[in-house]
Amino acid sequence: MAQSSQATGGLTSIPALLQRNAAQFADKDAYREKEFGIWQTWTWAMTEKEIEALALGLINLGVKEGDFVAIIGRNRPYFYWSMVAAQSVGAVPVPVYQDSAAEEMEYILGHCGAKYAIVEDQEQVDKIIEIQEKLHTFEHMVYIDPRGLRKYDHRQLHEFSHIQAQGRAAHDELIGELKSRREKLDYDSTCVMLYTSGTTGKPKGVVLSNRNVIESSKNSAEFDALTGDEEILSYLPMAWVGDFIFSVGQAYWCGFCVNCPESADTMMTDLREIGPTYYFAPPRIFETSLTNVMIRMEDSGDLKYALFHHFMDFAKTAGEKYGMPKRSLAKPDMKRRIKNGWRYAMGLGFAMETIVENGIRMAFTKLRHGSKAREHFKAKDPILLNLYRGNLRDYFKYRMGNVLVYGPLKDTLGFGRVRVGYTAGEAIGPEIFEFYRSLGINLKQLYGQTEATVFITAQPDGEVRADTVGVPSPDVEIKIDDNGEIHYRSPGTFVEYYNNPESTASTKDAEGWVATGDAGFFEEKSGHLRIIDRAKDVGKMADGSMFAPKYVENKLKFYPDILEAVLFGNGKDRCVAFINIDLTAVGNWAERNNIAYASYQELAGHPKVLDSIQEHVEAVNRSVADDPMLAGCQIHRFLVLHKELDADDGEMTRTRKVRRVIVADKFKDLVDGLYDGSTSVSTTTEVTYEDGRKGSISATLELRDAQVVPVASKMAAE
């Protein structure tokens, strides 16, 4: 480890990297945020000044070394500065999901004993004030947006800019203190504490050291040849480890620019304006984008519709080969722009020339050979590019598609410049994955978790597939135990769960191996890791066959009209499922088919919707039956839920993973109904509104049988 410390040139903390960047990339953009309709920019030199002022202000406020500072808000430069400023003064930043309810915050702030919080606005201030009495250690709160807060009691409440102003005023007396604290930071001091989303039970505080964060950032940056010229859009929750690594770890290591959207609603517009070169999103974002594209194509004119489908069909085969961006070309310089322009012009010219030439040839051939010619020209592409064969033709056709379809589409989606894109967190549908890749977006999968500082495996360029999660990341060792559970050991392996030695011991053994809780195996041919399911979700059915709910749920979720699915059947003789419809996709479908509906609930219960969901379920059953190991997981009965599963109701984590046990418990009457064979069930469900108030909705749900492929006969046939 001493060796790698030398490899990073003594840069053993994020504040040290900040110093380096401020010296080395002084005038390069470090942060941008869209505010008042304009992208406001801070260079690295300005960033260092801002962070220094804030750090001095925090010392002035009384922040001691080892104190925990909660950071609560959406992605804004001020919060990234707050994290680094907290580190500079020796404190530990603890980012918290900003949409957490007050009780969730109470647990986290109470668990780490946070003395300070830096929050966004009145909403967050109110939440903390609500729970403040129960937090005995809590001292001061700093807010960024003063709106509506003027009348509040300011004894424990401070405005961000005031803290910075106080820091600047006290510069001369405190700078020595700040420097000495900053120098004390080494590779083993705590960099950040992140709370796991808590799929089961209470969230746990994962302590990550500077070594974890910097080594992981360095390795992953080398793996993807990231440079200081990358642009990223930071829009994923700051409390999530991924955002910390991309927007802090890698950004500081490489010195690239972090862009923050104007608000959560403007994300798509901002994405397009920035055109990131390095992009990260959970599968859900890609699914939503694709659904939107498809909905809009349905409404487009005939020519556009035909062009789109023709070229997208073609891209499925050729995109992988001709579309992928070159490694490490972040910003096109003038020369490249001219070259690109030239290529575009050539592409268009070529297309026109071919059409004309083709036409003339066709006319002549027809004159001479009649029927034979017609056959020849029909067999291949109707008008275009019949003259050139094989690779060359595909190459030119893809170029042409790029001008007509792929380029404009990528630009609209904001993916025009993406050189490296990652999706993680959940499995992504093969069709969705293929769609983006065929457009020439280098979308890859990675597998990781908070405890590993993200990276466990990732797909190298050129070895990308929808069903694997790639090879071990640099410096990561992986072993698979007898139960099929994946274990890893890496420089990113977390230090401990804060204040929870039992959990630490049960997760991480003495040699540093960490159990992931996921079951998987290595493919022999490619050496890629494949994930089957959460190890503890994998169960046995009554007849002893394997029960892997995620596998079936993912198959269901790949249909655009299914947003979420929950499979039950552990220990039972057959499987049943809950399904959530996707309001956007199904709503659009309803509109086109003249189906009137007043609410989500009504649409979810519509017989025609149920019919189409049933078709999907039966198609999934057929595909599940193909795998003899999992054929028992076919869905015998299902229902479409009357409400969307929601994090506010505790049914999902804040990272939108289903909490299986809670769902099973909350909708027990429905599960029972599915098993006892009744055709409809009336139920009342408690819902929590965003402001924390509770209400309830009641509904009568139709329970349906789905056709299953008989397993025994299938086995016999083989």
Partner 1 sequence: MSNDSYVTDDGRTIGPTVMEMKNITLRFGGVKAITDISFDIREGEIRAIIGPNGAGKSSMLNVISGFYVPQEGEVWYKGAKRPPMKPYEVAQQGIARTFQNIALFEGMTVLDNVMTGRLRQMKANMFEQAIWKGKAEREEVENREVVEKIIDFLEIQAIRKTPVGRLPYGLKKRVELARALAAEPSILLLDEPMAGMNVEEKEDMSRFILDMNDEFGTTIALIEHDMGVVMDLSDRVVVMDYGKKIGDGTPDEVRNNQDVIDAYLGVAHD
Return the residue of 40, 137, 180, 263 that touches partner 1, per CB under 8 A: 263
Return the residue of 27, 172, 265, 676 that touches partner 1, per CB under 8 A: 265
If you write DSSP's letter for every residue of 88-114 in order, what string do you get? HTT-EEEEE-TT--HHHHHHHHHHHT-
Rank residues 122 and 189 by Cβ distance to partner 1 and give the closer one.
122
Q: Does 35 bind partner 1 (CB under 8 A)?
A: yes
Q: How far is the CB of 389 from partner 1 (least distance, A)?
A: 47
Return the residue of 262, 273, 381, 602 that touches partner 1, per CB under 8 A: 262
Q: How many residues bind partner 1 (CB under 8 A)?
A: 17
Instruction: Classify burial at 3, counting beta carbons within 10 Å of its beta carbon; exposed 0-12, middle 13-18, buried 19 or more.
Output: exposed
- Candidate segments 32-40, 53-61, 175-183, 199-207, binder of partner 1 by CB under 8 A: 32-40
Cβ neighbors of 252 (< 8 A, separation 6 or more) are 14, 17, 18, 21, 84, 217
Q: Does 691 bind partner 1 (CB under 8 A)?
A: yes
CA distance 366 to 371: 7
Strands (E), 582-647: 635-640
- Candidate segments 218-226, 257-265, 435-443, 476-484, binder of partner 1 by CB under 8 A: 257-265
Q: How far is the CB of 154 from partner 1 (least distance, A)?
A: 12
Rank residues 35 and 411 by Cβ distance to partner 1 and give the closer one.
35
Return the residue of 2, 27, 36, 367 that touches partner 1, per CB under 8 A: 36
CA distance 547 to 572: 10
| Dihedral of alpha carbons 637, 640, 643, 649, sign | positive
Residues 483-512 that bind partner 1 (CB under 8 A): none
Q: Nearest Cα to 566, choosing from 619, 618, 504, 639?
A: 639
Q: Helix or strand or coil: residue 682?
A: strand
Q: How many CA atoms lie within 13 A of 185 on its CB side?
A: 29
Rank residues 273 and 669 by Cβ distance to partner 1 and give the closer one.
273
Q: Does 154 bind partner 1 (CB under 8 A)?
A: no
Q: Does 390 bind partner 1 (CB under 8 A)?
A: no
Return the residue of 10, 148, 359, 512 that touches partner 1, per CB under 8 A: 148
CA distance 340 to 141: 52
Rank residues 266 and 623 by Cβ distance to partner 1 and give the closer one.
266
CA distance 528 to 541: 29
Q: Helix or strand or coil: residue 429?
A: coil
CA distance 82 to 47: 11
Q: How far is the CB of 78 from partner 1 (least distance, A)?
A: 15
How many other C-beta atoms can be found within 10 angstroms of the C-beta atom of residue 690?
9
Q: How far is the CB of 124 from partner 1 (least distance, A)?
A: 15
- Candidate segments 142-150, 458-466, 546-554, 652-660, binder of partner 1 by CB under 8 A: 142-150
- Candidate segments 65-73, 144-152, 344-352, 604-612, binder of partner 1 by CB under 8 A: 144-152
Rank residues 121 and 518 by Cβ distance to partner 1 and give the closer one.
121
How many other C-beta atoms can be found within 10 angstroms of the C-beta atom of residue 30?
27
Rank residues 122 and 227 by Cβ distance to partner 1 and give the closer one.
122
Q: How far is the CB of 564 from partner 1 (least distance, A)?
A: 23
Q: Do residues 74 and 98 touch, judged by C-beta distance below 8 A?
A: yes
Q: Does 151 bind partner 1 (CB under 8 A)?
A: yes
Residues at the interface with partner 1 (CB under 8 A): 34-38, 147-148, 150-151, 262-263, 265-266, 269, 689-691
